[in-house]
A and B are shown apart, each in its own frame.
Chain A
Amino acid sequence: MAEYTNQDSEKSLMEEIGITDREIANRRAFLELGEADEKELLSIDPAAQAYADPVIEDFYKHLLAFEETRVFFQDPQVLERVKRAQKRYFARLTQGGYDKDYIEDRLKIGAVHERIGLPMKAYLGMYSFYLRNVAHRLFEAHEDEQGKALRAFLSLLKVVFLDMGLAIDTYINRREQLIGKQQEAMRELPTPVLRVRERLLILPVVGVLESYRAHQLTEQLLESIGATRAKVAIVDITGVPLVDSRVANHLLQTVSAARLMGAAVILTGLSPQIAQALVAIGVDLSQVKTTVDLQSGLEEAERLLGYRLVPASDKPRSDQAHP
Chain B
Amino acid sequence: MSTPILKQGHYLIASLQPEQSDTDLLQLQDILVEQVGRFRSRGLILDVTLLDVMDSFATRTLRNIAQAVSLRGAETVIVGIRPEIAFAMVQLGLDARLSGVRTALDLEEALAILNRRCQEGMCRD
B89 touches A260 (CB 8 A): yes
Determine the residue in chain B with the shortest Cβ distance to A220. B83
Q: What's the minimum C-beta distance from B57 to chain A, rounded to whole angstroms?
A: 17
Contacts of A253 in B (CB 8 A): 87, 90-91, 95
B86 adjacent to chain A (CB < 8 Å): yes
A260 touches B91 (CB 8 A): no
Q: What's the minimum C-beta distance from A256 to chain B, rounded to whole angstroms?
A: 4
- The listed residue (B86, B106, B109, B110) touching A260 by CB distance below 8 A is B86
B83 touches A262 (CB 8 A): no
Max chain A C-beta neighbours (<10 A), residue from B81, B86, B110:
B86
* Contact segment of A21-29, A153-161, A221-229: A221-229
Q: What's the minimum C-beta distance from B49 to chain A, rounded to whole angstroms?
A: 10
A231 touches B95 (CB 8 A): no
A299 adjacent to chain B (CB < 8 Å): no
- The listed residue (A218, A223, A229, A257) touching B105 by CB distance below 8 A is A229
- The A interface, classified by DSSP as helix, strand, loop or mixed, is helix
Determine the residue in chain A with the shortest Cβ distance to B87. A257
* Binary contact track A255-276/B, C-beta < 8 Å → 1, others 0: 0111111110000000000000
Q: A262 to B81, alpha carbons, bound, how many Å?
A: 8
A262 touches B91 (CB 8 A): no
Known: A225-B83, A259-B95, A262-B81. A231 touches B90 (CB 8 A): no
B109 touches A262 (CB 8 A): yes
Contacts of A58 in B (CB 8 A): none
B95 touches A226 (CB 8 A): no
A225 touches B105 (CB 8 A): yes
Determine the residue in chain A with the shortest Cβ distance to B84. A222
B83 touches A261 (CB 8 A): yes
B105 touches A260 (CB 8 A): no
B82 adjacent to chain A (CB < 8 Å): yes
A219 adjacent to chain B (CB < 8 Å): yes
Contacts of B106 in A (CB 8 A): 229, 262
Contacts of B83 in A (CB 8 A): 219, 222-223, 225-226, 257, 261
Determine the residue in chain A with the shortest Cβ distance to B82. A226
Contacts of B98 in A (CB 8 A): 260
A262 touches B90 (CB 8 A): no
Contacts of A258 in B (CB 8 A): 86
Contacts of A256 in B (CB 8 A): 90, 95
* Binary contact track A98-138/B, C-beta < 8 Å → 1, others 0: 00000000000000000000000000000000000000000
Q: A88 to B33, alpha carbons, bound, how many Å?
A: 90
**Which chain A residues in 193-207 approach chain B with CB under 8 Å?**
none
Determine the residue in chain A with the shortest Cβ distance to B91. A253
Known: A218-B87, A219-B87, A257-B87. A262 touches B95 (CB 8 A): no
Q: A223 to B105, alpha carbons, bound, how many Å?
A: 12
B76 adjacent to chain A (CB < 8 Å): no
Known: A262-B79, A262-B81, A262-B104. A257 touches B109 (CB 8 A): no
Q: What's the minimum C-beta distance from A220 to chain B, rounded to whole angstroms?
A: 9
Q: A226 to B79, alpha carbons, bound, how many Å?
A: 12
A260 touches B79 (CB 8 A): no
Q: What's the minimum C-beta distance from A235 to chain B, rounded to whole angstroms?
A: 15
**Which chain A residues in 244-261 approach chain B with CB under 8 Å?**
253-254, 256-261
Contacts of A261 in B (CB 8 A): 81-83, 86, 103, 105
Q: A229 to B79, alpha carbons, bound, how many Å?
A: 12
Determine the residue in chain A with the shortest Cβ distance to B108. A229
Max chain A C-beta neighbours (<10 A), residue from B84, B90, B95:
B90
Contacts of B81 in A (CB 8 A): 260-262
Q: Could you list 17 examples of A-B contacts with CB < 8 Å?
A: A219-B87, A222-B83, A222-B86, A222-B87, A225-B83, A226-B105, A229-B105, A229-B109, A231-B105, A253-B95, A254-B90, A257-B86, A260-B89, A260-B95, A262-B104, A262-B105, A262-B106
Known: A222-B87, A257-B87. 10 other contacts (CB 8 A): A226-B82, A256-B90, A256-B95, A259-B95, A260-B86, A260-B90, A260-B103, A261-B86, A261-B103, A262-B81
